[in-house]
Amino acid sequence: MLKWAAIIAIIAVVLGVLGFGELAGAFIEIAKALFWVAVVIAGALAILGFFVYKKVT
């Protein structure tokens, strides 16, 4: 998911340089949303992994 966020952010930068400001703004918002979704999923998996590890050992 972070890979997609980075790709979309690069597309937003290119669109911004080419003068498509509105479209670039939309793409950067999508990239930010994907980034935060990835952070939340990674945090949830880390917490779950910690608790599962405690129960297994």
Q: Which domain holds residue 37?
A: 2-56
3-state SS assignment for residue 13: helix
For 49, half-sphere exposure in the C-beta direction (CA atoms, 13 angstrom radius) is 6
Per-residue confidence (pLDDT) for residue 57, from 0 to 100: 64
Let me know: does 12 contact 4? Beta carbons within 8 Å.
Answer: no
Print pLDDT tens along the chain (57 aa). Answer: 889 999 999 999 999 999 999 999 999 999 999 999 999 999 999 999 988 877 776
Number of domains in the chain: 1
